């Protein structure tokens, strides 16, 4: 557990008279557990949630996820099980209606170090991918290379945009398509690890005249 985060949350709860609070949003789950992940599917992300009281923290989990969560995400918390097909409602205030963003804005020393490492690794992954790209690659091929580099470093690409010469200047958020990269390409990544997200953009020129003029 992130003890600094837990102390902040309990102080916040006490100021509002909450005897218990349910943490469900993935970003808050990761913050409170020191990087744990309660997601499985992108379209239905919450596989478990935390119940926080002034004295305890308990994990509410489906039966099929509980073992993995205890072993890999949250440690030895007490677990309350429910059938995967019938998740109960959180009976009390939760982060579905209360925004915990202000509590997360100041990173602990451990979070700061994890964020620096994430930024370095994400930049290296994106840079390596573009460095070895070829003008004849499709945007999809470059996206695959970027994703491979990110995952090899334990980074989940929550946003991955790629554009070649034909689409780069036409679309603000270019989802990778089958177009050829050509003389200029761009990769954009929002990469998540331990609940933190690093955002970065890189461009690679293969002799594109406008890009060349910028370096002149």
Q: What is the pLDDT along the chain (216 residues), one digit of tens a residue?
A: 899 999 999 999 999 999 999 999 999 999 999 999 988 765 455 678 999 999 999 999 999 999 999 999 998 899 999 998 888 888 899 999 999 999 999 999 999 999 999 999 999 999 999 999 999 999 999 999 999 999 999 999 999 999 999 999 899 999 999 999 999 999 999 999 999 999 999 999 998 887 766 554
Query: Are 29 and 89 in the same domain?
Result: yes
Which residues, 6 or more positions from 187, have their beta carbon under 8 angstroms from its beta carbon?
126, 129, 130, 142, 143, 146, 160, 161, 162, 201, 202, 203, 204
Query: Are 33 and 94 in the same domain?
Result: yes
Q: What is the pLDDT of residue 85?
A: 84
Query: Are 62 and 121 in the same domain?
Result: no
Query: Are 119 and 94 in the same domain?
Result: no
Query: Are 135 and 54 in the same domain?
Result: no
Query: Are 78 and 117 in the same domain?
Result: no
Given 106, 135, 155, the domain boundary residue is 106
Q: In the chain, how many domains are there? A: 2
Range of the structural domain that residue 190 is part of: 110-214
- Rounded-to-integer distance, Cα 195 and Cα 108, Å: 13
Query: Are 117 and 99 in the same domain?
Result: no
Q: What is the pTM of this model?
A: 0.88
CB of 49 within 8 A of CB of 91?
Answer: no
**Domain of residue 136, CATH code:** 3.90.230.10
**Domain of residue 44, CATH code:** 3.40.350.10
Give the pair of three-digit tokens for residue 13: 């709860």
């Amino acid at each position: 557990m992130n003890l600094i985060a837990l102390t902040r949350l309990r102080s916040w709860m006490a100021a509002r008279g909450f005897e218990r609070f349910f943490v469900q949003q993935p970003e808050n789950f990761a913050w409170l557990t020191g990087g744990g992940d309660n997601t499985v599917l992108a379209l239905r992300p919450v596989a478990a949630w935390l119940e926080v009281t002034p004295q305890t923290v308990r994990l509410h989990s489906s039966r099929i996820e509980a073992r993995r969560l205890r072993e890999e995400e949250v440690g030895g918390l007490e677990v309350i099980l429910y059938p995967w097909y019938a998740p109960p409602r959180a009976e009390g205030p939760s982060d579905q209606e209360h925004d915990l963003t202000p509590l997360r804005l100041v990173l602990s020393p451990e979070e700061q170090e994890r964020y620096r490492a994430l930024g370095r690794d994400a930049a290296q992954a994106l840079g390596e991918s573009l460095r070895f790209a070829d003008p004849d690659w499709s945007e999809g091929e470059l996206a695959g290379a970027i994703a491979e580099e990110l995952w090899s470093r334990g980074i989940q690409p929550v946003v991955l945009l790629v554009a070649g010469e034909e689409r780069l200047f036409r679309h603000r958020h270019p989802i990778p398509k089958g177009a050829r990269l050509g003389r200029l390409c761009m990769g954009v990544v929002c990469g998540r690890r331990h609940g933190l997200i690093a955002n970065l953009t890189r461009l690679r020129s293969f002799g594109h005249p406008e890009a060349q003029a910028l370096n002149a």
